Amino acid sequence: MGFLKKLKQEYDNFKIQTKFAICILIAILTPFMVLGMMFAGRIYDMVASDTIRNEQEASLRIVPTVEAVMKQVYDSYGILAELLGNDGVSEVPEAVAQMLDRGMVEAVKIYVDMPVDSLLFSHEVSQGIFAPLSLAKGTYWYGILQGSREKYLYCPPFYLGNREMNLYGDCAYIVSRELVYQEQVYPCYVAVYYDSATLEEIMQKGASFPGGVSYIINERDAVIASTDDYLTGMYYINYEDISSYLMSSNNFIERNILGEKLYVSFNAIAQTGWFMVTVTPSGPLLQHTARVLLGFVLICICCIVIAFLLAMWQARSITTRISLLVQQMAEGRKGTPVSMPSPTVRDEVGELIETYNYMTGRINELLEKQKETAEELRIAEFNSLQAQINPHFLYNTMDMIHWMALKGQTEEISSAVQRLARFYKLTLSHKSNFMSIEEELEHVSTYVDLQNMRFKNAIDFVIDIPDELLNSNIPKLTLQPIVENAILHGILEKDMKSGVIVITGWREDDDMILLVSDDGVGIPKEKLPGILSGQRTGSTGGTNIAVYNIHKRLKLLYGESYGLQYTSTLGQGTDVRIKIPVSM
């Protein structure tokens, strides 16, 4: 009893912050220790089970990606099959070019059983795609398709010849079919080549557990792709065993290989007859689980240390002066912060009050400066957007002049150079970022003249602006990018490659409305919101940015109620409505 009384007396003499810290430590340590002793074993099993489940889920996520890749290969063949069966040999090169642009297909070869001196092989367009059947003889895949009733084959690297792997790709989807050419039917083999590295990269991205391996196997027990060749050889399971496991175990088994316990999942790859096998060895799994538990323990220790530090800080915070300081700081939320009276005590809290007073003074100064710089920032942002809008057609115009020079068209060259000089003089001569609507219309007219010289007077340009608006000011380069968009992505995308652009205008109270209309191909409804949001949409991304910058400049300059508004009807044309204040 005497010992406990002495211990209590020592505790009573501790400072408040120390007592508070001891209470917090006991409150935190007690449940951690009790739960740790009761559930350590269960936590270990849960981590191991969760790791295995995550590996299975990772495998399931990989399979659709692999299937999508192989579907692209299969669909590529489908396009060619339709052309070859309908005497569409002339369309094959264009179809192949589109396949190669999509990225997965590395090459396409069509091996045809016809004489080597056939025109099909020597034609400059098709000779890179069509080849005599003699080039395929001697390959493993040719022997397989010749010796079986199968009409198609997904080929791993060793099915192909060295020539194919060096020139085209190390994997292929090959189909035996017939080709109709000049009303004659010829046997042929269509080979769509792709790279196994693509499949391996997909599996590598899905791999999450060190020491494990994923591999793809076909019905002939050939490994198509693997994340680790060494581990694949060590943990290899043949196709027949996988098929039987899949029917009896719902794509997951536990198996012992070389005295080591393995957790194996397997999933079928649609259309190919392949299986993707994922193997998780128990040894690395146990090490991983131990590391997770160790990390959990370290996190618990960190939490205890943080709690102890927070307890110390909390105990130190129970003072009147800090409460007053907090109250004063809370007052700052309602408006401009106000300084406290200078402290009479120069301890840590006193220094904190001094710092608060200093910060309050600085904040008040910064608020004043913010008011002064807000307008400067708005103007700077306006100028930045203005600088981004540059004419995109200079290269094409110079190229046009080059060809005129080669043809000796001196008068046309002179006219083009004069118009180009006038265009840039109007763009660059004004020190101000504004010009009159009359000058802006002259600038646009010069641009259209240059485009008509390029496209053989394909654009009819009509201006109908009231005289009372011609002297009103407008930001430079407001109309030209819109007209450029109308020409390049409206009129020139029509079958006739010609059309009309009309600029009209009127006054609405203190505002001015300018309307740029064209009879081009129009814009799909789903793409209209992206034009004024700054998003890049397909091939028109560059001009979209220019139009977006115009829209944002007008809002920065005049307010949110001003700017551009697009309306469009597919096949009929597009209207761009520009709203700005009337200014002289």
pLDDT tens digit string along 404-436? 777 777 777 877 787 777 777 666 665 577 888
Q: Which residue has the higher pLDDT, 316 or 454?
A: 454
pLDDT digits (tens, 9 = 90+) for 346-364: 666 667 777 767 777 777 7
pLDDT at 322: 66
DSSP H helices, 133-195, are: 140-146, 162-167
Mean pLDDT of 384-401: 58
What is the pLDDT at residue 325?
66
Q: How many angstroms separate the CA atoms of 141 and 147, rounded? A: 10
Kindly state the tokens that stand for 296: 């959990």
Q: Under CATH, what is the fold of the domain 198-286?
A: Beta-Lactamase (3.30.450)
**pTM (2 decimals)?**
0.44
Q: What is the pLDDT of residue 499?
A: 93
What average pLDDT does range 255-274 have in this prediction?
Answer: 79
The 3-class SS string of 481-500 reads HHHHHHHHHHHCCCCCCCEE
Distance CA 184, CA 187 (A): 10
Report the 10 Å Cβ neighbour count for 84.
23
What per-residue confidence (pLDDT) applies to 333? 66
Tokens of 561: 């109620």
Contact criterion met (CB below 8 Å) for 477 and 539: no
The amino acid that residue 315 corresponds to is A
In contact, 490 and 572? CB cutoff 8 Å: no
Q: How far is CA 556 from the centre of its chain?
A: 29
* Structure tokens that stand for 555 in this block: 């809002």
pLDDT value, residue 564: 93
* Residues β-bridged to residue 514: 505, 578
Specify the CATH number of the domain 390-581: 3.30.565.10
pLDDT of residue 321: 64
Q: How far apart are the first and last CA of the chain?
A: 98
Taking phi over 0 as left and psi of -120 to 50 as alpha, with beta for the rest, 192 belongs to beta
Nearest to 314 by CA among 32, 19, 10: 19
249-253, 521-525, 553-557: least confidently modelled range: 249-253
The secondary element (H helix, E strand) that includes residue 71 is: helix 16-84
Asked if 154 contacts 274 with a C-beta cutoff of 8 angstroms, the reply is yes
Residue 30 clears pLDDT 60, i.e. is over it = yes
Q: How far apart are CA 122 and CA 529, in angstroms?
A: 50
Cβ–Cβ under 8 Å, residues 57 and 207: no
pLDDT digits (tens, 9 = 90+) for 372-390: 554 444 454 445 444 444 4
**Extended strands (E) in 28-127:** 107-112
Partners of 566 in beta bridges:
576
Sheet hosting strand 459-464, strand order edge to edge:
459-464, 499-508, 511-518, 573-581, 563-569
| 259: Cα within 13 Å, side-chain hemisphere | 0
Backbone angles phi, psi at 465, to 5 degrees: -115, 130
Residue type for position 251: N
The helix (H) or strand (E) run that includes residue 177 is strand 171-181
What's the chain's average pLDDT?
Answer: 78
Which of 158, 37, 44, 173 is closest to 106 using CA atoms?
Answer: 173
Token digits of residue 384? 């930045």
Burial 211-237 (b: 16+ CB within 10 A, else e): ebbbbbbbeeebbbbbbbeebbeebbb
- State pLDDT tens for residues 530-584: 888 766 555 444 557 778 888 888 888 888 899 999 999 998 999 999 999 987 5
Matching residue, tokens 């079986």: 148
pLDDT reading at 90 higher than 70: yes
Q: Which pLDDT score, from 0 to 100, does residue 464 have?
A: 92
- The pLDDT, as a whole number, for residue 563 is 92
Is residue 511 predicted with pLDDT exceeding 80? yes
Higher local confidence (pLDDT), 285 or 179:
179
Residue 115 φ/ψ, nearest 5 degrees: -55, 150
Rounded Cα gap, residues 199 and 226, in angstroms: 8
Both tokens of 20, joined, read 């508070």
460 strand-pairing partners: 500
Instruction: Considering only residues 580 and 334, tell me which one the structure prediction assigns the higher pLDDT.
Output: 580
Both tokens of residue 479?
A: 């109309």
What mean pLDDT comes out for the span 257-265? Answer: 76
Give the pair of three-digit tokens for residue 564: 């551009």
Per domain, the residue ranges of the chain are 198-286, 320-386, 390-581
To the nearest 10°, the Cα dihedral for 364, 369, 370, 373?
180
Cβ atoms of residues 466 and 502 within 8 Å: no
Q: H or E element: which one contains 265?
A: strand 260-269
**Residue 209: is it exposed, middle or buried by C-beta count within 10 angstroms (0-12/13-18/19+)?**
buried
Q: If we measure between CA atoms, which residue out of 470, 477, 494, 469 comes closest to residue 543?
A: 477
- As a whole number of angstroms, the distance between CA 297 and CA 305 comes to 12
User: Which pLDDT does position 314 carry in this prediction?
Assistant: 58
Q: What single DSSP character describes residue 59? A: H
Query: 């992505």: which residue's tokens?
Result: 489
